[in-house]
Structure 1
Amino acid sequence: MSEETAVDSQELGEKIVVVLKTIYDPEIPVDIYELGLIYDVFVNEDNEVKILMTLTSPNCPVAESLPAEVEEKVKSLDVVKDAEVEITFDPPWTQDLMSEEAKLELGLL
């Protein structure tokens, strides 16, 4: 991987985070990134993106629609060739995964 490619994928990663911060859990007024629902973002040299994420619970009412929304919004970035979301519950989500900002927003600090 060339130096230029590394910078590009980091830049793309930052753009993806910006997009993820526009997606909100419908039950909690905090975006999914600050909630800690995004575990990892992988970008390969072809600008194909894989996002490993979780939900606040396995019975989450948006278990179907939220991953689809994440895929759709990430795919809307011009440089992204494809995007795939994988849902995991390992480790299960807890409030400890939330950013300080999210905890403050929800009055948990």
Structure 2
Amino acid sequence: MSEVTLRDQIEEQLRTVYDPEIPVNIWELGLVYAIKINDDNAVNIDMTLTAPGCPVAGDIIREVEEKVRNLESVTDVHVHLTFDPPWTKEMMSEEAKLELGFL
């Protein structure tokens, strides 16, 4: 499987993960900063949250790990939570801004 195809599958899975307080997925919110796929298909994801004190942070990270790990060719998953750079509304996709009334 090519990296492009696996990356597309990973992005598709990330689009199914939602912050329970916001009706937009973490991908469209711009919470995923980077996806790195190693030669052995181990996946490293750098992501953030809308706020450092997010009460469901552990749940969101666990859901990301589980959904990506369930992809057939993924060998391992590591989610790295960072607040650098801090998330801002400008990181959202146009679709997310429209959905949340920011446009």
What TM-score does the superposition give when structure 2 sets the normalisation length?
A: 0.97
The match for 2:68 is 74
Q: Find out whether 1:88 has 2:82 as its counterpart.
A: yes
| Partner SS for 2:34 | strand
Q: Find out whether 1:45 has 2:47 as its counterpart.
A: no
The alignment yields a C-alpha RMSD, in angstroms, of: 0.9
Deviation (angstroms), 1:65: 1.2
| Partner SS for 1:42 | strand
Percent identity over the alignment is 57
Partners of 2:96 and 2:16 in 1: how far apart? 14
Partners of 2:4 and 2:37 in 1: how far apart? 9
Q: Which runs of 5 or more structure 2 residues have no equivalent in the other structure? A: none
Q: Tell me the matched-pair count.
A: 103
Map Cα deviations across residues 79-98 of structure 1 (whole Å, 9 max, x no partner). 10111100000000010000
Deviation (angstroms), 1:106: 0.6
Q: Which runs of 4+ in 1 moved over 4 A?
A: none
Q: Which runs of 5 or more structure 1 residues have no equivalent in the other structure? A: none
Give the letter for the 2:20 counterpart: P
Deviation (angstroms), 1:68: 1.0
The match for 1:54 is 48
- Larger of the two Rg values belongs to structure: 1
| Partner SS for 2:29 | coil
